[in-house]
Protein backbone atom coordinates (compact mmCIF):
# COMPACT_ATOMS: atom_id res chain seq x y z
CA UNK A 1 0.00 0.00 0.00
CA UNK A 2 2.85 2.37 0.84
CA UNK A 3 4.37 1.75 -2.61
CA UNK A 4 1.10 2.71 -4.25
CA UNK A 5 0.86 5.83 -2.13
CA UNK A 6 4.48 6.75 -2.82
CA UNK A 7 3.95 6.22 -6.54
CA UNK A 8 0.75 8.24 -6.54
CA UNK A 9 2.37 11.09 -4.64
CA UNK A 10 5.41 10.96 -6.89
CA UNK A 11 3.10 11.20 -9.85
CA UNK A 12 1.06 14.01 -8.31
CA UNK A 13 4.02 16.10 -7.28
CA UNK A 14 5.80 15.52 -10.57
CA UNK A 15 3.64 18.23 -12.10
CA UNK A 16 5.15 20.67 -9.59
CA UNK A 17 8.72 19.91 -10.64
CA UNK A 18 9.80 22.38 -13.24
CA UNK A 19 13.16 20.86 -14.17
CA UNK A 20 12.73 17.09 -14.33
CA UNK A 21 9.83 14.89 -13.32
CA UNK A 22 10.63 12.31 -10.63
CA UNK A 23 12.14 9.34 -12.38
CA UNK A 24 12.72 11.32 -15.57
CA UNK A 25 10.42 12.18 -18.45
CA UNK A 26 9.96 8.58 -19.66
CA UNK A 27 9.45 6.87 -16.31
CA UNK A 28 6.80 4.20 -15.89
CA UNK A 29 4.71 1.67 -17.75
CA UNK A 30 2.14 4.33 -18.62
CA UNK A 31 4.75 6.24 -20.60
CA UNK A 32 5.80 3.00 -22.31
CA UNK A 33 2.23 1.94 -23.15
CA UNK A 34 1.16 5.34 -24.47
CA UNK A 35 4.44 6.41 -26.07
CA UNK A 36 3.82 8.73 -29.00
CA UNK A 37 0.26 9.56 -27.94
CA UNK A 38 -0.89 13.04 -26.97
CA UNK A 39 -3.95 14.63 -25.47
CA UNK A 40 -5.72 14.54 -22.16
CA UNK A 41 -6.95 10.96 -22.51
CA UNK A 42 -3.51 9.49 -23.22
CA UNK A 43 -1.86 11.51 -20.45
CA UNK A 44 -4.59 10.58 -17.98
CA UNK A 45 -4.32 6.87 -18.80
CA UNK A 46 -0.52 6.98 -18.64
CA UNK A 47 -0.67 8.75 -15.26
CA UNK A 48 -3.24 6.30 -13.95
CA UNK A 49 -1.16 3.33 -15.10
CA UNK A 50 1.95 4.74 -13.45
CA UNK A 51 0.16 5.78 -10.27
CA UNK A 52 -1.92 2.71 -9.59
CA UNK A 53 0.76 0.07 -10.02
CA UNK A 54 3.65 1.79 -8.25
CA UNK A 55 5.93 0.97 -11.14
CA UNK A 56 7.45 4.46 -11.07
CA UNK A 57 8.82 3.91 -7.58
CA UNK A 58 10.09 0.49 -8.51
CA UNK A 59 11.63 1.88 -11.70
CA UNK A 60 13.39 4.70 -9.88
CA UNK A 61 14.85 2.42 -7.24
CA UNK A 62 15.86 -0.33 -9.67
CA UNK A 63 16.78 1.76 -12.73
CA UNK A 64 14.16 0.04 -14.91
CA UNK A 65 10.86 1.02 -16.59
CA UNK A 66 12.52 3.88 -18.43
CA UNK A 67 13.24 5.67 -15.16
CA UNK A 68 16.36 7.61 -14.31
CA UNK A 69 17.13 9.64 -11.23
CA UNK A 70 20.03 11.55 -12.76
CA UNK A 71 18.01 14.73 -13.30
CA UNK A 72 17.76 17.44 -10.68
CA UNK A 73 14.38 18.25 -9.23
CA UNK A 74 13.84 21.86 -8.40
CA UNK A 75 11.18 21.57 -5.75
CA UNK A 76 13.52 19.65 -3.42
CA UNK A 77 11.01 17.02 -2.34
CA UNK A 78 8.99 19.55 -0.33
CA UNK A 79 5.67 18.61 -1.90
CA UNK A 80 6.35 14.94 -1.25
CA UNK A 81 7.24 15.45 2.41
CA UNK A 82 4.21 17.68 2.86
CA UNK A 83 1.94 15.03 1.39
CA UNK A 84 3.50 12.05 3.15
CA UNK A 85 4.71 13.42 6.49
CA UNK A 86 3.17 10.63 8.59
CA UNK A 87 4.55 7.83 6.40
CA UNK A 88 7.94 9.57 6.20
CA UNK A 89 8.01 9.86 10.00
CA UNK A 90 7.29 6.13 10.39
CA UNK A 91 9.99 5.15 7.90
CA UNK A 92 12.57 7.42 9.52
CA UNK A 93 11.74 5.88 12.91
CA UNK A 94 12.58 2.39 11.64
CA UNK A 95 15.38 3.50 9.30
CA UNK A 96 13.88 2.08 6.12
CA UNK A 97 10.81 2.03 3.93
CA UNK A 98 9.34 3.00 0.61
CA UNK A 99 8.53 6.56 1.62
CA UNK A 100 12.05 7.14 2.93
CA UNK A 101 13.43 5.84 -0.36
CA UNK A 102 10.97 7.91 -2.39
CA UNK A 103 11.95 11.09 -0.53
CA UNK A 104 15.63 10.29 -1.06
CA UNK A 105 14.98 9.80 -4.77
CA UNK A 106 12.99 13.05 -4.95
CA UNK A 107 15.87 14.89 -3.29
CA UNK A 108 18.23 13.47 -5.91
CA UNK A 109 20.14 11.21 -3.52
CA UNK A 110 22.01 8.68 -5.66
CA UNK A 111 21.41 4.97 -5.06
CA UNK A 112 24.85 4.48 -3.48
CA UNK A 113 24.11 7.20 -0.89
CA UNK A 114 20.55 6.15 0.07
CA UNK A 115 21.75 3.91 2.90
CA UNK A 116 23.63 6.90 4.33
CA UNK A 117 20.47 9.02 3.93
CA UNK A 118 18.44 6.41 5.80
CA UNK A 119 21.10 6.12 8.53
CA UNK A 120 21.45 9.88 9.05
CA UNK A 121 17.70 10.45 9.21
CA UNK A 122 17.14 7.46 11.51
CA UNK A 123 19.98 8.40 13.89
CA UNK A 124 18.68 11.99 14.04
CA UNK A 125 14.97 11.26 14.42
CA UNK A 126 14.74 13.63 17.39
CA UNK A 127 16.37 16.42 15.39
CA UNK A 128 14.09 15.93 12.40
CA UNK A 129 10.93 15.63 14.48
CA UNK A 130 11.57 17.65 17.67
CA UNK A 131 7.92 17.48 18.78
CA UNK A 132 4.63 15.92 17.75
CA UNK A 133 3.40 19.18 16.22
CA UNK A 134 6.34 19.65 13.89
CA UNK A 135 5.37 20.92 10.42
CA UNK A 136 6.59 19.62 7.12
CA UNK A 137 8.48 22.88 6.52
CA UNK A 138 10.32 22.44 9.84
CA UNK A 139 11.15 18.83 8.96
CA UNK A 140 12.51 19.94 5.60
CA UNK A 141 14.64 22.65 7.20
CA UNK A 142 15.97 20.16 9.76
CA UNK A 143 16.63 17.60 7.02
CA UNK A 144 18.60 20.12 4.97
CA UNK A 145 20.68 21.05 8.02
CA UNK A 146 21.44 17.38 8.71
CA UNK A 147 22.33 16.71 5.10
CA UNK A 148 24.65 19.73 4.95
CA UNK A 149 26.46 18.47 8.06
CA UNK A 150 27.07 15.06 6.49
CA UNK A 151 29.95 14.81 4.02
CA UNK A 152 28.14 12.13 1.96
CA UNK A 153 24.85 14.03 1.70
CA UNK A 154 25.87 17.70 1.58
CA UNK A 155 26.17 17.59 -2.20
CA UNK A 156 22.40 17.02 -2.54
CA UNK A 157 21.43 20.24 -0.78
CA UNK A 158 21.48 23.26 -3.06
Q: Is the pLDDT of residue 154 over 80?
A: yes
Region 86-110: what's the mean pLDDT?
A: 91
Closest CA to 152 of 115, 103, 99: 115
Instruction: Looking at 15-54, list the stretches that DSSP marks H as alpha helix, in order from N- to C-terminal side.
Output: 29-33, 40-53
More confident residue, 144 or 65: 144
pTM for the structure as a whole? 0.56
Amino acid sequence: MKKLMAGAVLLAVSSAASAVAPGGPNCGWGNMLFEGKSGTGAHFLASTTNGTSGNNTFGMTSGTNGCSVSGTLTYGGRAMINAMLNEFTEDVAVGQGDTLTAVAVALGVEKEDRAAFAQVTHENFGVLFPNENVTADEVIANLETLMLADARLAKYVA
